[in-house]
Structure 1
Amino acid sequence: MNPDVTDYLAKTRPWQQEQGALLRAAVNGALPQVEEVLQYGKPHFQVDGRMVAVLHVAAAKVSFMVFDAGDVEPVPGLLRSLGAGDRKVVDLRDGDTVDSEFIADLLRRTAGRD
């Protein structure tokens, strides 16, 4: 695990640290070969040099975006599309639960490891 990502999460609110840690664990569990990098000031996750996801903490939420998700259907209230639909985002707020299995499945599908 990249210490820069650890530092990024350590600077957030306790509930964001918890959600960030759960998301990070889901990524590392689903894609054991994943590399964590801090890019553009945010934790990014890459496989074989290709970005597969990014985690972003904002004032009121934690967002987790996956790339190359054009074939993944949005899930109302859980997974929304960005751009032309090739990126999908899960937004979590204080009190929300991280569905680690959903995240892991999403990553395996979008990273081509299903």
Structure 2
Amino acid sequence: MPSTEVDQIIAAFGDWRGETLSRMRALIFDALPDVVEEAKWKKPTNPLGVATWSLGGLICTGETYKDKVKLTFPKGSSIDDPEGLLAVGAGVRRAIDIREGETVDAEAFAAVVRAAAALNAAPKN
């Protein structure tokens, strides 16, 4: 269920960044209707916090920057990503940077989101 806190984060950006984050949020909910949406890591320099989506563990975060919207998958290096969406990152994390005017393949993104949730649900060794 969409959270009012993430609504506030999106509303704080009345430009392409808010529209992009809103579009990606909708794709996440389409891929995983039971996903839990929250705003976390609130601090004085970022009082609205960071948009997060979880299901059995953190799936991804959504952050806005001056020149991009970044969706970070904390276990991205372990996620099946045949389309190469998770191109940005080092170590275990991988992210998708979306700049003004860019779009993300909805089906490929949904597959990455579902793969992240499946990884969270997988038995831990």
TM range (shorter): 0.7 to 0.9
Give the aligned CA root-mean-square deviation in angstroms.
1.8
Q: CA deviation at 1:44?
A: 0.5
Structure with more of its chain in strand, by fraction: 1
Residue of structure 1 equivalent to 2:63: 56
TM-score normalised by the chain length of structure 2: 0.78
Q: Which of structures 1 and 2 has the bigger CA Rg?
A: 2
Residue of structure 1 equivalent to 2:76: 69
Q: CA deviation at 1:81?
A: 4.3
Q: CA deviation at 1:65?
A: 1.1
Q: Mark the runs of 5 or more structure 2 residues left unpaired by the alignment.
A: 42-48, 120-125
TM-score normalised by the chain length of structure 1: 0.85
Q: Deviations over 1:44-96 (max 9, x none)?
A: 00113x11100000011000111322234583xx4324231x22111011111
Overall identity of the aligned pairs, in %: 25
2:112 to 102, 106, 110: 106
Residue of structure 1 equivalent to 2:100: 94
From the superposition, tell whether residues 59 and 13 of structure 1 become closer, same or farther in structure 2 (CA, over 3 Å): farther
1:44 to 27, 52, 71: 52
Aligned mates of 1:52, 1:13 — CA distance in 2: 26
